Amino acid sequence: QKEVEQDPGPLSVPEGAIVSLNCTYSNSAFQYFMWYRQYSRKGPELLMYTYSSGNKEDGRFTAQVDKSSKYISLFIRDSQPSDSATYLCAGTKTSYDKVIFGPGTSLSVIP
Amino acid sequence: DSGVTQTPKHLITATGQRVTLRCSPRSGDLSVYWYQQSLDQGLQFLIQYYNGEERAKGNILERFSAQQFPDLHSELNLSSLELGDSALYFCASSAKAGLLNTGELFFGEGSRLTVL
């Protein structure tokens, strides 16, 4: 079993839709959780970061972590064509440990 | 621009050869990570260095090795290359000394390796 799992998609939505991206993880020691966005042929860039359980909002993006169910979510409101990318969730035990990534979900937002 | 520099950007070589990928982390970052990304495997953790010392090892093949130098740049050496080693190799850095770090990684643009 991989430590972080997510549906690879592809996911295609119309512009303006609310997008829900989900991950599960198996390592109960994970304390830090991240979402990265990766455009084609580019390096991943940090989108959202959360510590332990809870919600975090940043503009159109909301990240949720439920440690009891080992579930990580990213919500994108009012999705834009520029949001079309691969979204990678990740977890780590401490701020100095290795970061383990899920396989990524490919998202296309259609104008 | 993440501040992480990787060279070369593209590399084409033959099976059995050896290559070296180089990474310069963000200024002040002590941790360097190497990841391999292929279409069917996603972003796979290879190895992590912290301030010159190996800190964690992932699914890194014995044919691969890495090191972090005193100036904190890192090199990933891939030897006896096989067709299956063709992938994007990413370097990431984090952990500025003296600051509360959150584990966020900053990635370079990657080195695309093609083995023919």
Say if residue A14 is preceded by a cis peptide, omega within 30 of 0. no
- pLDDT at residue A2, as a whole number: 80
- Torsion sign, CA atoms A27, A33, A39, A44: negative
Cα-flanking dihedrals φ and ψ of residue B26, to 5°? -60, 150
Does the N-terminal peptide bond of residue B8 adopt cis geometry, omega within 30 degrees of 0? yes
CA distance A90 to B33: 14
B50:A96 CB<8 A: yes
Q: Nearest Cβ partner of B31 from A34, A96, A100? A: A96
pLDDT at B85: 95
Distance, C-alpha B13 to centroid of its chain: 18
Q: Give me the amino acid identity at B3.
A: G
> Tens of pLDDT along A30-76?
998 999 999 988 899 989 888 888 899 999 999 999 999 999 999 99
Contacts of A98 in chain B (CB under 8 A): 33, 45, 48, 55-56, 58
Q: Give the pLDDT of residue B97.
A: 54
Q: Which of B43, B103, B106 sits opposite A92 (nearest CB)?
A: B103
The distance of B64 to chain A (nearest Cα, Å) reads 18
Is B45 an interface residue toward A (CB < 8 Å)?
yes
